[in-house]
Structure 1
C-alpha cells in the first residue's frame, strides 16, 4: 500500500476578474466603467490608456500578470491587474514574450472600437484645450541586444500590437509591463490565494 501523500498540483488558472489595492472581482465591464469615471473627473486632461503583461517563472508554474492603467498625465492614475497561472515553467524566451503579448492582446480585444470611442468622446469637446487619450500596449522587451535577450523578437511583437490599432511601447519605456505588472508577478502563486483552496490535491 502506498502511504506517500499525494503531492498537490496546479491546474491552469485564467482569471477573468481584475483587482487592485482597493477592489477585487472586477469584470472587464467594471474596469471599463472605472476608466470612464476616472476620465470624466477631469475631461480636459491628457490620458494614456495602457495594457501590459509581465511573467515570472516560479517553482512548478509560470505567473502572468496583465495590468490595465489609465494615466492622467501629471495627475495620477487608476490601475488594476489580473493573473494567469500556467502549471509549468517556461524556458523559452520567445514563448514567454509571445504569451505575454497574447494576454495583453486578449484584454485589448475587449476594448473594441465602440469602447475606445466612449473614452475618446469624453475628451473630444476639449481637444483644442489640450485634452487627449492615446492607447498603448507595453511590451516587456527591448531592442538593445546587450541588455535584452528578447531583442530578436521585438519586431514581431510590435507588428502584432500595431495590427490591433494600438501603439506598441518597448523597454525602457514599457513601465506598465516591466514595473506595475512585474510588482505582482514576482510573488509565487499559492493555492489559497484569492480564497481558492485545494480539494483532493487538485486545484
Structure 2
C-alpha cells in the first residue's frame, strides 16, 4: 500500500498506522472506509483505497494500484471493484479482531442512482451488507468516487 503521508507500507504496517492514528484521537468520531475505482485504458487500472477520517478534522488514506486485463462490461467492473473492497475490508477486520478491536468498516461503491451503474446497486449493496459491512453509494462514497477516482486517472 502507498500513502502520501507515510510512503510505501506493508499491509500490517498500514494496520499499525491506522491503530496508532485512531488511538491518538480516542475522543473523536472516526470512520474507516474501503473503496475501489477503475479506469479503462489499454488495460483496466484499478485503485483500492483505505481511508480513515476523523470526522470534522480530516484524515489519512492508503491506496494500491493494480493493472488487469481490460474489463469493458460495467456490471463486471463494478462487481470486480466491490470484490476487492470486500476482500480488503475482511482482511482489515480479521487483523483488528486479533487485538479484540472492533472497528466499524464501511465499503464505498462507485455507483449511483444516475447512469448505467444504477441497475446493479441493489445487488451490490445486498452483497456488501451480507458480508457484514455498511455500504455507501454515490454521492456518499468518497473513498471510491473521489479518492480512488483521482488515483485511477
Normalised-by-shorter TM-score class: over 0.9
- Structure 1 residue 106: deviation in Å? 1.4
Matched, 1:140 2:121: no
- Structure 1 residue 160: deviation in Å? 1.5
CA RMSD of aligned residues (A): 1.6
Matched, 1:81 2:63: yes
How has the CA–CA distance of structure 1 residues 154 and 174 changed in structure 2, closer, same or farther, with 3 Å as cutoff?
same
How has the CA–CA distance of structure 1 residues 173 and 44 changed in structure 2, closer, same or farther, with 3 Å as cutoff?
same
How has the CA–CA distance of structure 1 residues 89 and 111 changed in structure 2, closer, same or farther, with 3 Å as cutoff?
same
How many pairs were matched up? Answer: 152
Q: 2:22 aligns with which of 39, 55, 58?
A: 39
TM-score by length of 2: 0.92
More strand by share: 2
1:49-92 CA deviation, whole Å, 9 max, x = no partner?
1000000001x210000000111000111111001101x32210
Question: Secondary structure of 1:43's partner?
Answer: coil
User: Larger C-alpha radius of gyration, 1 or 2?
Assistant: 1
1:114-168 CA deviation, whole Å, 9 max, x = no partner?
6156544xxxxxxxxxxxx5320001111x2xx2211111111111111221100
Matched, 1:164 2:131: yes
List runs of 5+ in structure 1 lacking aligned partners: 1-17, 121-132, 187-203
User: For the residues of structure 1 that align with 2:62 and 2:127, how far apart are their CA atoms?
Assistant: 23
8 Å CA contact 1:47–1:134 kept in 2: the answer is: no
Equivalent position of 2:53 in the other structure: 71
Question: Secondary structure of 1:138's partner?
Answer: strand
User: For the residues of structure 1 that align with 2:29 and 2:14, how far apart are their CA atoms?
Assistant: 19
User: For the residues of structure 1 that align with 2:150 and 2:100, how far apart are their CA atoms?
Assistant: 30
TM-score by length of 1: 0.70
Question: Secondary structure of 1:112's partner?
Answer: helix
User: For the residues of structure 2 that align with 1:112 and 1:134, how far apart are their CA atoms?
Assistant: 9
Equivalent position of 1:91 in the other structure: 72
Give runs of ≥4 in structure 1 deviating > 4 Å: 116-119
List runs of 5+ in structure 2 lacking aligned partners: none
How has the CA–CA distance of structure 1 residues 171 and 100 changed in structure 2, closer, same or farther, with 3 Å as cutoff?
same
